[in-house]
Amino acid sequence: MRKIKEVLRLKHEHGLSDRQIALSCGIARSTVGEYLMRARAAGITWPLAAGDDAAIEAQLFADRRGRAKADQPRPLPDFAQVHSELQSHKHLTMQLTWEEYKQTQPDGYQYSQFCDLYRRWAGKLDLVLRQSHRAGEKLFVDYAGQTVPVVDLRTGEVNKASIFVAVMGASSYTYADASLKADLESWIGSHVRALDYIGGCPEVIVPDNLKAGVKSPSRYEPDLNPTYQEMAAHYGVAVIPARVRKPRDKAKVEVGVQVVERWILAALRKRIFTSIGELNEAIKGLLEKLNARQFRKRPGSRRELFEQLDRPALKPLPVERFEIARWKWRRVNRDYHVELRNHFYSVPSNLVGREVELRYTADTVEVLHKGVRVASHTISSQVGEATTVEAHRPESHRRYLEWTPSRLESWSTHAGPSIAAVVEYILHNAVHGEQGLRSCLGLVRLESCYGEQRLEAACARALRFDACSYRSIESILKTGLDRTEPTEPIATLDPIEHANMRGPDYFDGAKEVSHVN
């Protein structure tokens, strides 16, 4: 009403145009025109006659009020039925439910008001039902805050078992089990057992930001543990962690944890457990009773709702259960091997110096580079040893390893008798087998450089002068001595006799004199 008064004042007192009035009042020019037209039709002049604003407004908009009173009340939709169908059918939309409503009630509410009325109705539901979850869509998971003591009979040590809880969104169907640790293997193992228990795969798993599952929490793009992400891919589910410090994101499992603590853990408070298996057997029996218990504020039980809503919408489980694997980053050593648990595994030699990912289970280890598997080995427990695939070696290394002592002897026999004699001498007189092998490989290289005939002549000369080594034969070939006629070795000269020459007896006598002094 304040805007209408201002429009009339500016028009009659200041004589402004409709455009100027619209700019001054911040309304559309058409609205200014409508207000002035209604004032003329109702006989309202400026200044306004004494009276309250409600009476003046009634005069201006008498036609609207008359139409509103003349309108018949429109039929309300059955929102309880709408809510049930939206829960049961995950692909059902509000648009489709409104169109079905309009088919039966052509004079009913339009779409925007239909949605607004439904939201008001749903806001008055019980807190347990306030979050709307489609059938088979979400599985909420978390650890309970309460633990259960497990006594080790051998040592008397009391361990605290962690309780894993999983709750289906639409039916509140609940699963729980215990593990001695809350590490990655226990976290993944509980997920696998929970999916086996419900007999299918939901669309989404909603965990808390536990370190075992989420490496780096984030409101928009949380960084999942690679093993957890691999498990999700194996079962075809998406993992969407709850926001940090936002417990309402996982209200289902928060309530589920309370229910498990009240109906299962409280019932086991007086029992003493000596193994994790014994504890899980006790939880299993009470879990069946919990899911069969009737709701207080709604008909049916968790199991009945699960069979009606969630089970038909779940995706089938994969043929094989997920096998947990761990991941580690490693840099490839210069010998094209990577280390895992003090054992070395080969990778293609072109990855030397690169960073690769190791995915390893109890039986196998896989090496991945940029997401592509480049090597796979069977896990070995031999400490300090290496597992090598020949194809991973560079070509030069493969050629080197192909020259075994037996192959070298075979090569030398066909190359020539002198070469064969030198090879046999080197292999049998080397201090270490590998040292002799390398010297013989040097002879193979000399053959490729100088030819078989020159090498045979050089080896013959080396045998004659008792110089059977790689360096001597290489020197003979470099200086061309293999092409000259061999001469007899220089004869050993007789000792020179001279009065001034001192023989060994002189020094023996000198030693005796020094001892006497």
Of the three residues 353, 372, 393, the one that is the final residue of a domain is 393
Q: What is the CA radius of gyration of the chain?
A: 46
Distance CA 436, CA 411 (A): 15
Residue 462, classed as helix, strand or coil, is: helix
pLDDT at 34: 81
pLDDT in tens, 474-515: 888 888 888 877 655 544 445 556 566 666 666 565 555 454
Q: Structure tokens of 224?
A: 């999942």
Question: Does residue 33 surpass a pLDDT of 60?
Answer: yes
Backbone angles phi, psi at 71, to 5 degrees: -65, 140
State the alpha helices, DSSP H only, in 105-136: 111-122
What does each C-alpha distance from 365 to 100, 378, 379, 390 come to in angstroms? 57, 6, 6, 17
Q: Structure tokens of 248?
A: 């309402």
User: Do 266 and 389 share a domain, yes or no?
Assistant: no
User: Do 65 and 84 share a domain, yes or no?
Assistant: no
**Number of domains into which the chain is organized:** 5
DSSP 407-443: HHHHHHHHH-HHHHHHHHHHHHH-SSHHHHHHHHHHH
User: Do 481 and 340 share a domain, yes or no?
Assistant: no
Check residues 360 and 433 and name the one with the higher pLDDT.
360
User: Do 235 and 302 share a domain, yes or no?
Assistant: yes
What does each C-alpha distance from 181 to 144, 163, 184, 258 come to in angstroms? 13, 10, 9, 21
Work out the mean pLDDT of the chain and round it to a whole number.
80
pLDDT at 245: 56
User: Do 362 and 434 share a domain, yes or no?
Assistant: no
Q: Average pLDDT for residues 27-34, to the nearest whole number? A: 83
User: Do 156 and 301 share a domain, yes or no?
Assistant: yes
Q: How confident is the model at residue 130 (pLDDT cuts 50, 70, 90)?
A: very low
User: Do 202 and 277 share a domain, yes or no?
Assistant: yes
Burial of 166 (0-12, 13-18, 19+ CB in 10 A): buried
User: Do 503 and 416 share a domain, yes or no?
Assistant: yes
- Determine the Cα angle at 378 with ends 374 and 382, to 5°: 120
For residue 482, is it within any domain?
A: yes
- Determine the Cα angle at 194 with ends 128 and 92, to 5°: 50
For residue 132, is it within any domain?
A: no
For residue 373, is it within any domain?
A: yes
Question: Does residue 408 surpass a pLDDT of 50?
Answer: yes
Of the three residues 393, 413, 432, the one that is the final residue of a domain is 393
Q: What's the pTM value of the predicted model, to 2 decimals?
A: 0.49
Of the three residues 258, 278, 313, the one that is the final residue of a domain is 313
Question: Does residue 209 surpass a pLDDT of 60?
Answer: yes
Domain that holds residue 18: 2-70
pLDDT in tens, 132-153: 678 888 899 989 889 999 998 8
For residue 130, is it within any domain?
A: no
User: Do 22 and 92 share a domain, yes or no?
Assistant: no
Residue 94, classed as helix, strand or coil, is: helix
For residue 121, is it within any domain?
A: yes
